[in-house]
Amino acid sequence: MGKSLTVLAGMLGGALAGLLAFQFFTQILPSLLYQPPPPPPTVREENGYYVVHYEWRYPSGPRGKTWRYDTRIPVEAYRWFRSRPRVRNYAEYVDNPADDQWMAHLAGLLENAARGEGWGEFETLSFVLSFVQGWPYTEDVTTGYDEYPRYPIETIVDGGGDCEDTSILFASLVKAMGYDVVLLYLKQDRHMAVGVAIPQSMVEGWNKGYPLTYYTYGGKIYAYCETTGQNWELGHKPEQLKSTTAEVVPL
Give me the residues that bind Ca ion (CB under 5 A), please: 96, 99-100, 140, 148, 162, 164-165
Considering the complex, state which of residue 41 and residue 235 has its C-beta at the smaller distance from Ca ion.
Answer: 41
Q: Can you tell me the distance from the alpha carbon of 123 to that of 107, in angstroms, rounded to the nearest whole number? A: 14
Q: Provide the minimum distance between the beta carbon of 140 and Ca ion in the complex, in angstroms, as a whole number.
A: 5
Q: Provide the minimum distance between the beta carbon of 224 and Ca ion in the complex, in angstroms, as a whole number.
A: 20
Q: Provide the minimum distance between the beta carbon of 139 and Ca ion in the complex, in angstroms, as a whole number.
A: 8
Under 8 Å between Cβ of 176 and 111? no
Considering the complex, state which of residue 127 and residue 148 has its C-beta at the smaller distance from Ca ion.
Answer: 148
User: Radius of gyration of the chain from Cα atoms?
Assistant: 18
Q: Can you tell me the distance from the alpha carbon of 251 to that of 247, in angstroms, rounded to the nearest whole number? A: 13
Considering the complex, state which of residue 26 and residue 96 has its C-beta at the smaller distance from Ca ion.
Answer: 96
Distances from the Cα of 148 to the Cαs of 103, 143, 144, in angstroms? 21, 7, 8
Considering the complex, state which of residue 98 and residue 221 has its C-beta at the smaller distance from Ca ion.
Answer: 98
Considering the complex, state which of residue 95 and residue 123 has its C-beta at the smaller distance from Ca ion.
Answer: 95
Beta bridge partners of 54: 69
Q: Can you tell me the distance from the alpha carbon of 209 to that of 78, in angstroms, rounded to the nearest whole number? A: 40
Q: Provide the minimum distance between the beta carbon of 15 and Ca ion in the complex, in angstroms, as a whole number.
A: 16
Count the alpha carbons within 13 Å of 194 in the hemisphere toward its beta carbon: 35
Those residues whose C-beta lies under 8 Å from the C-beta of residue 208, and which sit 6 or more positions away, are 122, 233, 235, 236
Q: Provide the minimum distance between the beta carbon of 64 and Ca ion in the complex, in angstroms, as a whole number.
A: 28
